[in-house]
Amino acid sequence: MILACKNITKSFGTDIILDHISFQIDEYEKVAVVGTNGAGKSTLFKIITNEYSMDRGEIFIRKDTTLGYLSQHLDLDETNSIYEEMLLVFSSLLDTEKQLREYEHQMGIFQGQDLKNIMVKYSALQHQYEEMGGYGYQSKIQGVLIGLGFTSEEFNQPIYQLSGGQKTRVSLAKLLLQEPSILLLDEPTNHLDISSIEWLELFLKGYPGTVLLISHDRYFLDRIVTQTIEIENKKVTFYRGNYSFYAKQKAINRDIQLRQYYQQQKEIKRQENIIQQLRSFNREKSIKRAKSREKSLSKVERIEKPQYLNTEMNLSLTPKIQSGFDVLSVQELSKSFDGVSLFSNVSFQVSKGERVALIGPNGVGKTTIFRILLNELSADHGNFHLGTNVHIGYYDQEQEHLSPEKTIYDEISDAFPTLTQNEIRNTLAAFLFTGEEVFKTIHTLSGGEKGRVSLAKIMLSQANFLLLDEPTNHLDMISKEVLEQALLAYEGTVLYISHDRYFINKTADKILELSPEGITSYLGNYDYYLEKKAQQLAASSSKEEKKITTTSQSKEDWLLQKERQAQQRKKENIIAKIEEDIENLENKIEQLDKKLCLEEVYSVPEKAQKVYYEKKNIEDQLEVLYEEWEKAHSHDV
């Protein structure tokens, strides 16, 4: 056991957020903390890290355990470059390195016993430096920054020039490099594209410590966590499995608890009737028996009715105006900014009824394509054509078009005055607004609730072709499930941008992968896309050189393809050779360090100086190789 919480209680004013919650976590576990927005997940993290005090309870953290917490608060020196900020993690290592350089300088000056004394100190410090990972920290920094989506050209960019999302990624990189015993991550996949999320998954799966995750990315949780803690109704429930296991088990537990609740309610009603009947006899013995039953009934621990939201759509969402079969045709779109090409040769088709996911790395131009389709931006080359009776509806994740002072009901009725009260209530019920909830004012709603109102409005509009840009951002699990069901029930056409792989897997029947060179289409969901990508990778890696026989490809195309393949092989061979040379030099340095620790070497100044200068020469060579490795990765050969 590395962490345990016992009877933790926390209130803000009269609002109880956490009520006597208890759980414990073993070392090396990867644990998800889930619950609706406002359930208290981030509050729990802040209590564990002492950012918040608790009203009562105890927290046990094993001795010598270090905590690392990624929250929305960014603790960065914005005058530093990205790389300089990473170096702060290794400050003690750099101090040791500085002292080693000082000893090395002194070894070139002193003689006799003084040199011998310096060599002893140098040998001890050299061993300590090696134990601290002194020869690997630069590779670690490069690996983490590149994994989180930074290019080597961006390493020297000042932090004050970065966007909010980039600063969050810098904070995440810094925290991962610190390698605390317990890593607490609050929505770590925000601002990451799919490739960076996949890198983070692999990193966390192999992380040599304990990880606690708050995330709405269900695919991400499924790939990493082995335990799930749910916070609901101020209490916690522990599930020994990933998110999918938790979701299935929760549904089973809810049904069991619901049956127990109704059985208890039936028994309580029966006892209350008996008590009432006994009192009606108005005899001393009957009244005593009634009081006895009342006392017993008051001691019964009441089962709470489980919270249940039916996210299944019981309503078909049919556009009022039907489009033609051909909804969107895009031909040879290209776009550049400041002379730098963003994408080119982008062509694709969208047909009626399709649910299409547009994916690709950050910065490749997905939102730019949407802006072109919305006529907010013009393309440099190419064109697009909307089909007959196509009306675009754009989902604004910021919900700026909602009126803050209106109620949910008025927001819908004012926008669609011809709808009856029953039609409005049925639509809102499909988006989980029932009873008095429809009279909540917009400004009091959470991000997920506002998203559901926006979705209801867009589904009721004249639109029959929806463009959704990151629609699941900042939505809680329930709101995501509602959105998924809404899209599955929607009889119009949808094109959306998303990094949410679980959402894509559930809703997409076609995936468009955008790259700077164009678009590749996959007729299936995200699992199908991964399967096809794996097949393509396997085919390309095992494919032998053979003559191109396809008549649709000209000789010039074939020669260009062969040249690119040759260049790629050349680049891979150069990188492999550099990595081999780096490994050989690192091994030599390690051997020389061991040699410097031998008494027969450090006790003889001439031998020690010879070994020292040999080591220094190899370190200079190693520095050059590191630079060559970085250039080989970031430039075409």
| Phi, psi of 453, deg, nearest 5 | -65, -45
Of the candidates 330, 378, 379, the one whose C-alpha atom is nearest the C-alpha of residue 521 is 330
Residue written as tokens 């506002």? 450
447 and 474 Cβ atoms separated by less than 8 Å: yes
Residue with the bigger pLDDT between 310 and 516: it is 516
| Each residue's pLDDT tens digit, 93-109 | 999 989 988 988 888 88
* 80: helix, strand or coil: coil
Q: Is 70 helix (H, G, I), strand (E, B) or coil?
A: strand
Distance CA(453)–CA(411), nearest Å, equals 8
pLDDT band at residue 562 under the 50/70/90 scheme = low
What is the average per-residue pLDDT within 106-120?
85
If one counts every other C-beta atom within 10 angstroms of the C-beta of residue 284, the result is: 8
Which strand (E) or helix (H) includes residue 22? strand 15-25
CATH number for the domain running over 555-634: 1.10.287
Other CB atoms closer than 10 Å to residue 357's CB: what's the count? 27
Q: Report the pLDDT averaged over residues 375-384.
A: 93
Residue matched to tokens 């608790």: 54
Give the DSSP per-residue string, 309-351.
Answer: ---S--S-B--SS---SEEEEEEEEEEEETTEEEEEEEEEEEE
- Cα 463 to its chain centre, rounded Å, is 31
**Terminus-to-terminus CA distance in the chain, angstroms?**
51
Locate tokens 């490099």: which residue?
Answer: 177
Domain boundaries, the chain: 248-298, 326-536, 555-634
Residue 478: half-sphere exposure toward Cβ, Cα within 13 Å: 21
Judged against a pLDDT cut of 90, whether residue 123 lies above it is answered with no
Q: What per-residue confidence (pLDDT) applies to 207? A: 93
Is the predicted pLDDT of residue 43 greater than 90, yes or no? yes
Question: Residue 449 — φ and ψ, nearest 5°?
Answer: -65, -40
**pLDDT value of position 574:** 81
| Predicted local confidence at residue 358, as pLDDT | 96
Distance CA 577, CA 136 (A): 19
Question: Measured between alpha carbons, how far is 434 from 426 in angstroms, rounded to an integer?
Answer: 9
Q: How far apart are the C-alpha atoms of 121 and 602, rounded to whole Å?
A: 10
Sole residue written with tokens 């430039």: 635
**Cβ atoms within 10 Å, residue 452:** 24
Residue 474 above 50 pLDDT?
yes
Torsion of CA 421, 422, 428, 432, to 10 degrees: 130
User: 265-305 pLDDT, tens per residue?
Assistant: 999 999 889 888 888 888 888 888 888 888 888 888 888 77
Write down the pLDDT at residue 634: 61
Q: What are the residue ranges of helices labelled H in 132-193? A: 137-147, 164-178
Per residue in 196-254, pLDDT (tens digit) is 999 999 999 999 999 999 998 899 999 999 999 999 888 899 998 999 899 888 888 88
Among 84-88, 99-103, 246-250, 598-602, the least confident range = 598-602
* Max CA separation in the chain (angstroms): 112
pLDDT averaged over the chain?
Answer: 86
CATH topology of domain 326-536: Rossmann fold (3.40.50)
Decide which of 468 and 430 is more confident: 468
The residue type found at 606 is: E
Q: Please state, in angstroms and rounded to a whole number, the distance separating the CA atoms of residues 317 and 411.
A: 19
Question: What number is the average pLDDT over the span 62-67?
Answer: 91
Signed CA dihedral, 557, 563, 566, 571: sign only: negative
| Same-fold call for 326-536 versus 555-634 | no
Q: In whole angstroms, what is the distance from residue 191 CA to residue 363 CA?
A: 11
Strands 355-359 and 510-515: parallel
Position 520 scores a pLDDT of 93
Handedness of CA 543, 546, 552, 556 (dihedral sign): positive
Q: Which of the pair, 592 or 325, is modelled with greater confidence?
A: 325
Residue pair 286/294 in contact (Cβ under 8 Å)? The answer is no
Distance CA 634, CA 388 (A): 46
The torsion of the CA quartet 256, 262, 268, 271, rounded to 10 degrees, works out to -110
The CA-CA-CA angle for residues 121, 127, 131, to 5°, reads: 145
Buried b (16+ CB within 10 A) or exposed e, 372-386: bbeeeeebeebebeb
Q: What is the pLDDT of residue 508?
A: 95
Residue 176 has pLDDT above 60, yes or no: yes
* pLDDT for the residue numbered 76: 87
DSSP string covering 428-482: HHHTT--GGGGG-BGGGS-HHHHHHHHHHHHHHSS-SEEEEESTTTT--HHHHHH
The three-point CA angle 626-631-633 to 5° equals 95
d(CA 569, CA 561): 12
8 Å CB contact between 191 and 173: no
| Surface-to-core class of residue 22, CB atoms within 10 Å of its CB (0-12 exposed, 13-18 middle, 19+ buried) | middle
| pLDDT of amino acid 544 | 53
* Token pair 């131009």 in the structure block, residue: 365
pTM of the model as a whole: 0.70
15-25: strand order across its sheet: 15-25, 3-12, 56-61
Does residue 32 have a pLDDT over 90?
A: yes
The pLDDT of residue 308 is: 58
Identify the band that residue 637 occupies on the pLDDT scale cut at 50, 70 and 90.
Answer: very low
Q: What confidence tens digit (pLDDT) does each residue in 307-360 have?
A: 655 555 555 678 888 999 999 999 999 999 988 899 999 999 999 999 999 999
More confident residue, 545 or 259: 259
Tell me the average pLDDT across 492-512: 93
Let me know: does 148 contact 169? Beta carbons within 8 Å. Answer: yes
What is the DSSP annotation of 194-250? HHHHHHHHHHHHT-SSEEEEE-S-HHHHHHH-SEEEEEETTEEEEESS-HHHHHHHH
Greater confidence (592 vs 154) lies with: 154
Alpha-carbon dihedral sign for residues 592, 597, 598, 602: positive
Band of pLDDT at residue 411, cut at 50, 70 and 90:
very high
- Do residues 23 and 237 lie in contact, with contact meaning Cβ atoms separated by under 8 Å? no
pLDDT at residue 180 is higher than 60: yes
Q: Rounded to an integer, what distance in angstroms lies between the CA atom of residue 306 and that of residue 312? A: 18
Q: Mean pLDDT throughout 591-597?
A: 77
Q: Which two tokens stand for residue 48?
A: 């564990």
